[in-house]
């Protein structure tokens, strides 16, 4: 989770309303994300206290209040940050998502008309509308953050909810991917589409389909007849 609107939506799925959340300034914020979770790809909200980086989007507006070397009025600044981020969350949910969806709609329309991305047009449009829109959302995210791995993983799970992505320790540009679905011509084309859209040409991938490769010590991956050989 990166932005506040995403946190608000995930919190709702985890049983928290927006008014239940308490935003506080992170002691060790990342300059690349608005949230400060221990795990970037965390999909649930376990506590109602959320650490955020108020300078991620609003450094000019909030820098004089929340820069690390600013001292004094601690309780006031704490309350102000919580209030302002509740407003930001509402603003994001009411406006930011709509703009993003509008951009995605225009892009899908132009792809359908054959204006660009012709090589993946047929494969993308073979998806149902919601999935194709989510893939375009990921493409828009990539244009903003340039984080190929994170966005590729997100796009991968849009099409394959059971998917896992493993990065080789000896070669950070080589991935092993598990999808959890049968290997068909259609699925191979979809995987190739994701690689074309989200990964630089220098990256390599090994794809495992229905069966996961065996991992020593992980019983679920070592079932007889349901384990792929790597």
- Residue spans of the domains in the chain: they are 4-96, 99-221
**Residue 196: its pLDDT value, please?**
95
Sign of the Cα torsion 210, 214, 218, 224 reads: positive
Q: How many residues does the chain have?
A: 230
Helices 185-198 & 129-145, crossing angle to 10 degrees? 20
Per-residue pLDDT at 41: 64
Pair of tokens at residue 53: 């980086």
Instruction: Say how far apart CA 220 and CA 166 lie, in whole Å.
Output: 17
DSSP strand pairing (49-52 vs 164-167): unpaired
Distance of CA 33 to the CA centre of its chain: 11
pLDDT string in tens for the chain (230-residue length): 567 888 888 888 888 888 889 998 888 877 777 887 766 666 778 888 888 888 888 888 888 888 877 888 889 989 999 999 999 888 887 765 556 776 887 898 889 888 889 999 999 999 988 899 999 999 999 998 889 999 999 999 999 999 999 898 889 889 999 998 999 999 999 999 999 999 999 999 999 988 776 554 445 555 555 555 55
DSSP SS3 for 112: helix
Token pair in block for residue 167: 């990065």
Are 175 and 167 in contact, with CB atoms under 8 Å apart? yes
Question: Which pLDDT does position 207 carry in this prediction?
Answer: 92
213 and 221 Cβ atoms separated by less than 8 Å = yes
């Amino acid at each position: 989770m990166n932005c506040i609107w995403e946190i608000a939506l995930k919190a709702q799925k985890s049983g928290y309303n927006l008014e239940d959340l308490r935003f506080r300034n992170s002691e060790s914020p990342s300059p690349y994300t608005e949230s400060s979770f221990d795990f970037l790809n965390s999909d649930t909200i376990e506590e109602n206290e959320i650490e955020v980086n108020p300078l991620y989007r609003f450094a000019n507006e909030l820098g004089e209040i929340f820069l690390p070397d600013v001292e004094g009025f601690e309780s006031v600044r704490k309350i102000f940050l919580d209030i302002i981020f509740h407003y930001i969350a509402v603003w994001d949910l009411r406006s930011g998502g709509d703009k993003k969806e509008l951009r995605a709609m225009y892009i899908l329309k132009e792809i359908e008309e054959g204006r660009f991305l012709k090589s993946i047009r047929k494969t993308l449009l073979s998806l149902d509308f919601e999935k194709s829109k989510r893939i375009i959302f990921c493409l828009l995210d990539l244009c903003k953050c340039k984080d190929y791995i994170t966005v590729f993983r997100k796009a991968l799970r849009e099409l394959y909810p059971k998917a896992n992505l493993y990065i080789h320790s000896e070669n950070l540009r080589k991935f092993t991917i598990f999808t959890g679905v049968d290997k068909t011509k259609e699925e191979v084309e979809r995987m190739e589409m994701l690689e074309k859209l989200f990964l630089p040409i220098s990256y390599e991938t090994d794809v495992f389909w229905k069966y996961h490769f065996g991992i020593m010590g992980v019983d679920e991956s070592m079932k007889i007849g349901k384990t792929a050989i790597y």
